Amino acid sequence: GAVVSQHPSWVICKSGTSVKIECRSLDFQATTMFWYRQFPKQSLMLMATSNEGSKATYEQGVEKDKFLINHASLTLSTLTVTSAHPEDSSFYICSASGIAGVLDTQYFGPGTRLTVL
Amino acid sequence: RKEVEQDPGPFNVPEGATVAFNCTYSNSASQSFFWYRQDCRKEPKLLMSVYSSGNEDGRFTAQLNRASQYISLLIRDSKLSDSATYLCVADSSNTGKLIFGQGTTLQVKP
């Protein structure tokens, strides 16, 4: 099956620093990658949709200048949380889709747990 | 109103029990529906897609009722390993985006 990796799996940082999270599709070309955030006991909330080579589309209420997304290749998308604050502490999960003929199946990465002190 | 609503539970059932989860969605234009399973502190994993004709995968049966806009998941002969959170998911009008419900937590007891 399709494999999506994320790095790092967890990160602890000081308030005010920036954190970059990588999402890679290991065995397929992902035309679209999605970034989600999940707070404890809550559902996954879509933050943005990223298509290779174009600007990401952000969901309402998500600050594009704070959550920088780059999708420079068909196998890599990055999310940078700029000037992180404690309220940004969350579980960030990416997913990728784009396997021919199965456009609406998303394969999820293992997630990155961010803790901002 | 949430786009996809589920009873968060938890559902506590003994091993071997049959348990059913329901979910409702508000966007009548949604075309694709799924059940995902999420273990604690892990990513969601696709359990099964849901079709109007209903579909079965071993002990798991999923049903879709478009007229009432609800989706169900039936688990027969529950195992301890079935303990997890089950996420009901609908697509957002064929945009490729997925809308997740809050999830229903299942605890299967020995």
Query: By C-alpha distance, which of B28, B29, B21 is closest to B85?
Result: B21
**Across A55-59, B34-38, B68-72, B94-98, least confident range:** B94-98
- How many Cα atoms are found within 13 Å in the side-chain-facing hemisphere of B2? 18
Max Cα distance, chain B (Å): 42
Which among B42, B45, B103 has the least Cβ separation from residue A43?
B103
**Residues of chain B neighbouring A106 (CB-CB closer than 8 A):** 98
Each of the 117 residues of chain A gets a pLDDT tens digit; together they read 678 999 999 999 999 999 999 999 998 888 889 999 999 888 899 999 998 888 899 999 999 999 999 988 889 999 999 999 999 999 999 999 875 445 557 889 999 999 999
Tokens 């970034």 appear where?
A: A35
Tell whether A109 lies on the interface with B, counting CB pairs under 8 A.
yes
**Beta-carbon contacts of residue A14 (< 8 Å; ≥ 6 apart):** A116, A117
How many angstroms separate the CA atoms of B20 and B51, rounded? 17
Q: What is the mean pLDDT of chain B?
A: 92
Which among A103, A104, A111 has the least Cβ separation from residue B43?
A111
How many angstroms separate the CA atoms of A103 and B9, rounded? 32
**Residues of chain A neighbouring B102 (CB-CB closer than 8 A):** 42-43
CB contact under 8 A, A104 and B91: yes
How many angstroms separate the CA atoms of B79 and B16, rounded? 6
How many angstroms separate the CA atoms of A5 and A25, rounded? 6
Angstroms from B86 CA to nearest CA on chain A: 11
